Structures are given as structure tokens and as C-alpha cells.
């Protein structure tokens, strides 16, 4: 037992190595939440364009662009997209801003998945809701905004939460562009101490705790939204 504690001390306390994890976690959270925000905004936008096209036949060009976006982003690995962004598109950018590149890459990637989630939510709403809105004289966009989206959002909340969880864990590849996120932090400790077990286990535990907290928060939100429709 004391052996274990010694090892723990040696791995994390000596030279204040635990700070790598704290700093890494900070970056992971910043990237996750900023990217999730970009992804959700982008995803809703793309979903609206796609479902408007499906329902009314308008926005042909917009729909075409959205489909290319979805195909490319969903058809290539996240790591590759990240590296293309950092080493090709933003190659001349000062490396101080690499966190912005990471946020943008993860946001654009997440947006593609959010878009299809939200679109499925919009398409799952009974057409009668659209008709009821129209029959009252509401325009398509007002019907969408006040009638369809609130219901669709509620329906897709579990899937959206899932996407954020995936995103949180996916940010672990940020190390590929030298981003010091949580995983990279653990890796630095491993390199310094020649110990793999402790740092990797700690990193895994921290991800797990984050996901558990996230899940419970979403559960609370879901229950609050569901209150409205109890039968």
C-alpha cells in the first residue's frame, strides 16, 4: 500500500507534475465547450437548410453545399482534418493560436454530426405541426422557430448529449498538433517518469468523471423539458 502511495507521489507530486494534468484538463474543456458551441450552431444551420430543402424544395444550392460539407467531414478522420487545418490551411499562423485552430476543427467536425441529429429531429415532427402553423398564417421560418425546433430539440437532446460526450473524448487527438490537452498532459508525465500505468489511469479516470457529470447535467435538463408534456 505504501508502495502505491510512493509511486503516486513520485508520479504526480514530484516537480508538481500534476499541473500537467490540470492545465491539460483546462485546455480539453475549453476546446470541448467552444467546439460544441460552434458545432451546435453550425449543425442547426445546416439542419435547417437541409430540412427546408427536403420539405419545400427551396435552397437547392445551400443544400448542395451542405451535402458536400457532410460528406467530406464525415468521410475523413478527425485527426486528419485537424492536421490539415493546422499544418496546411493555417500553416502560417503563429503556434500560440493553435488552440483556436483546434476549436475550429473540432467545431466544424462536430457540426456535421449535429446537423444530421437535428435534421432527424426536425423530420420526426409530425407534418400536422407544420400545417397547423401554416394554417394560422405563420410563415415557414416562424413555424420552424416557434413550433418545430423547440419540439425537435427536446427529441434530439439525448443524441446531442451523446455527440458532446464523443466530442469531449475525441479532443484527445489534439496532441497531434502539439496541443497540451489532458491526454497529452498524461503523456508528458509518462515520458518524464517512465511510468505508464499511473498517468494513463489518471487521465482515463478524469475523462470518465467528466462524462458522468455531463450525463447527469443532461439528464436534469431532459427531465425539466419533459415536465411540460407529462401525460
Partner 1 sequence: MKRDNNAPTREETEKAFTDELIVVSDLHKSFGDLHILKGISTTVRQGEKVVIIGPSGSGKSTFLRCLNLLERPTSGSIKLDGVDLLGFNEKGVNFMRQSMGMVFQHFNLFPHLTIRKNITLAPVKLGILSEEEANSRADDLLEKVGLYDKCDAYPGQLSGGQKQRIAIARALAMNPEVMLFDEPTSALDPEMVGEVLELMKQLAEAGMTMIVVTHEMGFAKEVASRVMFMDDGQILEEAPPDKFFSDPKNDRTKLFLSKVLV
Residues near partner 1, by CB under 8 A: 126, 128-129, 131-140, 142, 146-147, 150-151, 154, 228-231
Residue 204 — φ and ψ, nearest 5°?
-60, -45
Helices (H), the chain: 2-8, 18-56, 60-75, 78-83, 98-124, 127-135, 140-143, 149-170, 182-193, 197-226
For partner 1, the closer CB: 213 or 226: 226
Please state the closest distance from residue 92 (CB atom) to partner 1, in A: 46
Query: Cell for 157?
Result: 437532446
Please state the closest distance from residue 150 (CB atom) to partner 1, in A: 5
For partner 1, the closer CB: 49 or 202: 49
For partner 1, the closer CB: 16 or 229: 229
Residues 6+ away with beta carbon under 8 Å from 59: 49, 52, 53
Please state the closest distance from residue 46 (CB atom) to partner 1, in A: 23
Under a CB-based contact definition with an 8 Å cutoff, are residues 168 and 32 in contact? yes
Residue 96: how many CB atoms within 10 A of its CB?
A: 7
For partner 1, the closer CB: 136 or 208: 136
Please state the closest distance from residue 154 (CB atom) to partner 1, in A: 7
**d(Cα 42, Cα 16) in Å, to the nearest integer?**
40
Please state the closest distance from residue 129 (CB atom) to partner 1, in A: 6
For partner 1, the closer CB: 8 or 132: 132
Amino acid at each position: 500500500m505504501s508502495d502505491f502511495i510512493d509511486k503516486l507521489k513520485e508520479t504526480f507530486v514530484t516537480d508538481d507534475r500534476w499541473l500537467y494534468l490540470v492545465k491539460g484538463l483546462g485546455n480539453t474543456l475549453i476546446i470541448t465547450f467552444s467546439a460544441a458551441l460552434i458545432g451546435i450552431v453550425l449543425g442547426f444551420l445546416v439542419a435547417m437548410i437541409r430540412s427546408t430543402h427536403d420539405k419545400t424544395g427551396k435552397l437547392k444550392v445551400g443544400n448542395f453545399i451542405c451535402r458536400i460539407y457532410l460528406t467530406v467531414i464525415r468521410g475523413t478522420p478527425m485527426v486528419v482534418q485537424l492536421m490539415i487545418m493546422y499544418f496546411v490551411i493555417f500553416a502560417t499562423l503563429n503556434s500560440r493560436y493553435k488552440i483556436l485552430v483546434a476549436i475550429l476543427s473540432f467545431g466544424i467536425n462536430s457540426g456535421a454530426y449535429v446537423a444530421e441529429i437535428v435534421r432527424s429531429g426536425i423530420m420526426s415532427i409530425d407534418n400536422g405541426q407544420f400545417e397547423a402553423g401554416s394554417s394560422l398564417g405563420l410563415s415557414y421560418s416562424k413555424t420552424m422557430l416557434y413550433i418545430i425546433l423547440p419540439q425537435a430539440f427536446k427529441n434530439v437532446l439525448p443524441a446531442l448529449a451523446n455527440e458532446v460526450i464523443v466530442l469531449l473524448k475525441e479532443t484527445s487527438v489534439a496532441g497531434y498538433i502539439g496541443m497540451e490537452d489532458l491526454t497529452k498532459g498524461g503523456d508528458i508525465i509518462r515520458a518524464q517518469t517512465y511510468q505508464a500505468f499511473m498517468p494513463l489511469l489518471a487521465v482515463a479516470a478524469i475523462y470518465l468523471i467528466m462524462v458522468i457529470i455531463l450525463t447527469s447535467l443532461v439528464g436534469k435538463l431532459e427531465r425539466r423539458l419533459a415536465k411540460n408534456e407529462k401525460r
